[in-house]
Amino acid sequence: MNRSQPQHFKNRLQTPIQYVKGVGPKRAKLFEKKGILTVEDGLYFLPRCYEDRRHLKKISELRAGGKETGFGEILLSGTAFYQNKKKRVFEVVVGDGSGTITLKWFRGNERYLKERFKKGQRMIFSGEVRWFNYQKEIHHPDMEIVEGDIEEDYINFKRIVPIYSETEGLYQRTLRRLLKSIVDGYSDELTSPIPEEIVERQDLIDFSEAFRRVHFPPDGESIEKLNLQRSDGHRRIIFDEFFFLELGLALKKRGVALETGISFRTQGTLSQRLLNQLSFQLTLAQERALAEIVEDMEKPHPMNRLIQGDVGSGKTIVALLASLRVVECGYQAAIMAPTEVLAEQHYLTIHRWVEPLGVGVALLTSNIKGSEREEIYDRIRRGEVQIVIGTHAVIQEQVEFHRLGLAIIDEQHKFGVVQRGLLKKKGGNPDVLVMTATPIPRTLAMTIYGDLDISLIDEMPPGRMPVETRVFPESARNRVYRIVEEEVKKGRQVFIVYPLVEESEKLDLMDATQMAEHLQKDVFPGFRIGLLHGRMKSDEKEAIMGEFKEKAIHILVATTVIEVGIDIPNASVMVVEHAERFGLSQLHQLRGRIGRGQYPSKCVLLAQYRSSEEAKVRLRAMEQTNDGFKIAEQDLELRGPGEFFGIRQSGLPDFRVAHLIRDTSILIEARKEAFRLVQGDPDMEKPSHSALKDVLKKRWKGRLELATIG
Ligand code: ADP
Ligand code: MG
């Protein structure tokens, strides 16, 4: 094959946007602000919505209550005053002979608006039409000033018109004109080598055609579908993004399945002995997860499994039972937790559980130093320790295992894929088990944790009392203190949590420290208050947690070090200070620290009343549901998948158009097709698949080890 040809194609799409006719260096800078550097980026810069200008209505025909588009001449423009001159509103009155309509701006740069709208200009506007004082009006319309003859203008009129996201200096009409020239000049260069068979089965339109239609839809398209990004063109582009994502995942997964691992075959005597001594029985969901794990462990290939279960669903015991099977076969298990406090807690619980069985457990954190640390290293190396529990310290270079059989990562969403890889490398292809309380929808989980198999613990241990959540304003602080007091008098314990925002970490820490003092001296002199934060030394932390566990401390003032994993069943109240500063998933994690015993529990979210709208939505969601899945979906909606924790570090390619939540149904189809393709051609050897490999490499940018597939 002529090698220069694809190179040539690639170059055309990689043409810097500056060289597109009409762009030039100045506009290129503006495009750059939007992340658009090349022609290809430009093609992927899809309209944010569409306006139906196939038939422009007369102003008299515009209906109130719906989104409408109209056209007319500016009759008047200027600032109007309302409410005894207290409120300024910028108004533009537009007429077309059939009637008039008033366009209103309640905020915005008045001087700029005045400059922009002059009497006699013609403009097109759209937005929701409403009635006010017997007149039609639109607030904050989308609008464009019209020059030239609209009968001749086939980009901006007489069609479904794309609306792009603007930036200062780059407005609709310019954007539309430039995009038109990019689409006309370059869309033919776009290729997506998805095999014909799949294209047919999925009823996909031509790839280049998809871009043409999405930017400048033909008249027959449905405006509703376009605006929902559900047109055939959109579907084609989204499918393409998902397909290459899933193809990469399918290959990764297959790569793991081919590796030789350890087959752990055991009667499970040790784990049975632990089960006998527990004060509770496993839930059905825990048993199911454990059975799936055991089945994987018996196979001669490495396990790569994720346990997904809401906070408090009992993941730790499942992980421990799996560890014991490994120990029984003469191997070691390592459990890595994201914080010291959590590692220590795991150590305490697990140590207590398995010491009677004669299993050696060691704690390894960065705070254990000197000779003590050296000794732990030795014992791990000699295999005297069978279960190692720790923080990042476990993946340090100096740590050598005797025979690592199982690597467990708790609260996986706090780590990246890199750490998982490092821990795995500590053994000869050990089994890997990761746990997360991020309750994301299954299809999404399958993608984010792409190459993992998933076990779901979707049931809480019996007897849990629901947690009642309420938002209180700062002014109700005394009422909150009374709730705290009542609970402590009943013998319960309380968490008071402070946010720790990085930029002002010192200040926040002072908050927590001062608050603890203030509470002790002025508010609850009769109770014991403890303080816990991340800057404390390991043994101090341990001592405080120990005292809290033994109920010597009634109220624990803490930073978010207690966010993950902490298990104190007697704690029944949590007060979150500055709740408006926390993200939804984080609040849910925090709330998971209470309601773990048989007592009804209360979560109090103290919010500063000047919180943003978004913060209010978040806090309301917390009041409304305890369901981690619902919380996660809401969080994802509010923050978008990029921000949603765990995804950033997941090592997945970025999406330009596809949206993991909105486009789930396309994701499922793309996944099906990609996995099917890899099943039929595991090494991607078919000549017809070689173009696929090139695209894969480009999309995954080295994040996919393609060595295995050549
Ligand atoms: P998470 O899934 O959030 O990590 P943990 O493993 O910390 O949850 O478990 C929460 C609490 O529930 C612990 O005190 C644990 O001992 C207890 N627990 C776990 N499984 C059960 C069960 N089947 N019945 C009763 N209590 C259980
Ligand atoms: Mg846990």
Predicted pLDDT at 584: 84
Predicted pLDDT at 379: 96
Q: In this predicted structure, which of 275-289, 492-506, 645-659 has the lowest mean pLDDT?
A: 645-659
Domain co-membership, 389 together with 439: yes
Residues whose beta carbons lie less than 5 angstroms from ion ligand 2: 565
Pocket test for ligand 1, best of 277, 280, 585 (most atoms within 8 A of CB): 280
Domain co-membership, 481 together with 606: yes
pLDDT above 70: residue 647: no
- Over range 692-697, report the average pLDDT: 87
Contact predicate 374/348, CB 8 Å: no
Q: Which residue has the higher pLDDT, 80 or 256?
A: 80
Predicted pLDDT at 417: 66
At 363, is the secondary structure helix, strand, or coil?
strand
Domain co-membership, 430 together with 487: no
Predicted pLDDT at 710: 34
- Ligand number with the minimum distance to the CA of 588: 1
Pick the atom of ligand 1 nearest to 569's CA: 14
What is the per-residue pLDDT across 326-371, written as a single tens digit (0 to 9) for each?
Answer: 999 999 999 999 888 788 888 988 998 999 999 999 999 888 889 9
Which of 158, 189, 211 terminates a domain? The answer is 158
Distance between Cα 316 and ligand 1 center (Å):
7
Structural domains in the chain (count): 3
Q: How far apart are CA 637 and CA 662, in angstroms?
A: 9
- Counting Cα atoms < 13 Å in the Cβ hemisphere of 581 gives 15
Predicted pLDDT at 26: 94
In Å, how far are 169, 341, 448 from 320, measured between CA atoms?
A: 60, 18, 25
Domain co-membership, 278 together with 424: yes
pLDDT averaged over every residue in the chain: 86
What is the per-residue pLDDT across 595-622, written as a single tens digit (0 to 9) for each?
Answer: 888 889 999 999 876 667 888 888 999 9
User: Does 505 reside within a domain?
Assistant: yes
Residue 138 sits in a domain whose CATH number is 2.40.50.140
Predicted pLDDT at 419: 77
Q: Could you tell me if the CB of 312 is within 6 A of ligand 1?
A: yes
Predicted pLDDT at 155: 83
Q: How large is the C-alpha radius of gyration of the chain?
A: 31
Q: What is the pTM of this model?
A: 0.69
- For ligand 1, atom 9, the nearest C-alpha belongs to 314
- Over range 153-179, report the average pLDDT: 87
Pocket test for ligand 1, best of 274, 313, 411, 467 (most atoms within 8 A of CB): 313
Predicted pLDDT at 611: 66
Domain co-membership, 491 together with 449: no
Which of 432, 457, 482 terminates a domain? The answer is 457
Q: Give the start-end residues of each E strand in 458-610.
A: 467-473, 493-497, 529-532, 555-558, 571-576, 601-607
User: Does 405 reside within a domain?
Assistant: yes
Q: Could you tell me if the CB of 69 is within 6 A of ligand 1?
A: no
pLDDT tier at 518, thresholds 50, 70, 90: very high
Predicted pLDDT at 147: 81
Predicted pLDDT at 705: 58
pLDDT tier at 703, thresholds 50, 70, 90: low
What is the per-residue pLDDT across 398-414, written as a single tens digit (0 to 9) for each?
Answer: 899 999 999 999 977 67
Contact predicate 607/579, CB 8 Å: yes
Sign of the C-alpha dihedral computed for residues 507, 508, 509 and 511 taken in this order: positive
Task: Give phi and psi for 663, each to the nearest 5.
Answer: -105, 30
Cβ contacts of 141 within 8 Å, gap of 6 or more: 103, 125, 126, 127
Sign of the C-alpha dihedral computed for residues 534, 540, 546 and 552 taken in this order: negative
Which of 415, 434, 457 terminates a domain? The answer is 457
Contact predicate 337/389, CB 8 Å: yes
Q: How far apart are CA 216 and CA 224, in angstroms?
A: 15
Predicted pLDDT at 416: 67
User: Does 11 reside within a domain?
Assistant: no
Domain co-membership, 344 together with 450: yes
Short-list 388, 381, 377, CA closest to 351 = 388
Q: Could you tell me if the CB of 597 is within 6 A of ligand 1?
A: no
Domain co-membership, 342 together with 381: yes
Q: How far apart are CA 325 and CA 559, in angstroms?
A: 36
pLDDT tier at 706, thresholds 50, 70, 90: very low
What is the per-residue pLDDT across 333-342, written as a single tens digit (0 to 9) for each?
Answer: 999 998 887 8
Is the backbone of residue 684 left (phi > 0), alpha (psi -120 to 50) or beta?
Answer: left
Domain co-membership, 579 together with 447: no
Q: Could you tell me if the CB of 549 is within 6 A of ligand 1?
A: no
Cβ contacts of 514 within 8 Å, gap of 6 or more: none
Task: Give phi and psi for 472, each to the nearest 5.
Answer: -120, 145
Q: Could you tell me if the CB of 461 is within 6 A of ligand 1?
A: yes
Number of H helices, E strands in the chain: 24, 21
pLDDT above 50: residue 707: no
Highest mean pLDDT among 70-74, 149-153, 419-423 belongs to 70-74
Domain co-membership, 397 together with 496: no
Q: Which two tokens stand for residue 397?
A: 């270079």
pLDDT above 70: residue 640: no
Residue 554 sits in a domain whose CATH number is 3.40.50.300
Q: Which residue has the higher pLDDT, 589 or 30?
A: 30
Predicted pLDDT at 73: 94
Predicted pLDDT at 205: 97
207-215 vs 232-258: helix crossing angle, rounded to 10: 140
Q: How far apart are CA 307 and CA 291, in angstroms?
A: 12
Domain co-membership, 481 together with 348: no
Domain co-membership, 453 together with 477: no
- Ligand number with the minimum distance to the CA of 593: 1
Distance between Cα 347 and ligand 2 center (Å):
12
Distance between Cα 488 and ligand 2 center (Å):
26
Predicted pLDDT at 503: 47
Q: How far apart are CA 419 and CA 392, in angstroms?
A: 8
User: Does 330 reside within a domain?
Assistant: yes
Q: Could you tell me if the CB of 598 is within 6 A of ligand 1?
A: no
User: Does 668 reside within a domain?
Assistant: no
Domain co-membership, 449 together with 518: no
Distance between Cα 566 and ligand 2 center (Å):
7
Predicted pLDDT at 504: 56
Distance between Cα 425 and ligand 1 center (Å):
30
Distance between Cα 345 and ligand 2 center (Å):
10
Q: Which two tokens stand for residue 265?
A: 């075959």
What is the per-residue pLDDT across 81-137, written as a single tens digit (0 to 9) for each?
Answer: 887 777 889 999 999 999 999 999 988 788 888 888 889 999 989 889 999 888 999
Q: Could you tell me if the CB of 315 is within 6 A of ligand 1?
A: yes
Q: How far apart are CA 375 and CA 371, in angstroms?
A: 6
Q: How far apart are CA 697 and CA 710, in angstroms?
A: 11
- Ligand number with the minimum distance to the CA of 410: 2
Predicted pLDDT at 43: 96
Predicted pLDDT at 171: 84
- For ligand 1, atom 23, the nearest C-alpha belongs to 282
User: Does 452 reside within a domain?
Assistant: yes
What is the per-residue pLDDT across 544-561, written as a single tens digit (0 to 9) for each?
Answer: 988 999 999 999 999 877
Domain of 361, in residue numbers: 269-457
Predicted pLDDT at 566: 76
Q: Could you tell me if the CB of 436 is within 6 A of ligand 1?
A: no
Distance between Cα 312 and ligand 2 center (Å):
7
- Counting Cα atoms < 13 Å in the Cβ hemisphere of 549 gives 13
pLDDT above 50: residue 709: no
Predicted pLDDT at 507: 59
- Ligand number with the minimum distance to the CA of 312: 1
Q: Could you tell me if the CB of 283 is within 6 A of ligand 1?
A: yes
Contact predicate 78/90, CB 8 Å: yes
User: Does 118 reside within a domain?
Assistant: yes
pLDDT above 80: residue 420: no
pLDDT above 90: residue 257: no
Q: Could you tell me if the CB of 316 is within 6 A of ligand 1?
A: yes
pLDDT tier at 201, thresholds 50, 70, 90: very high
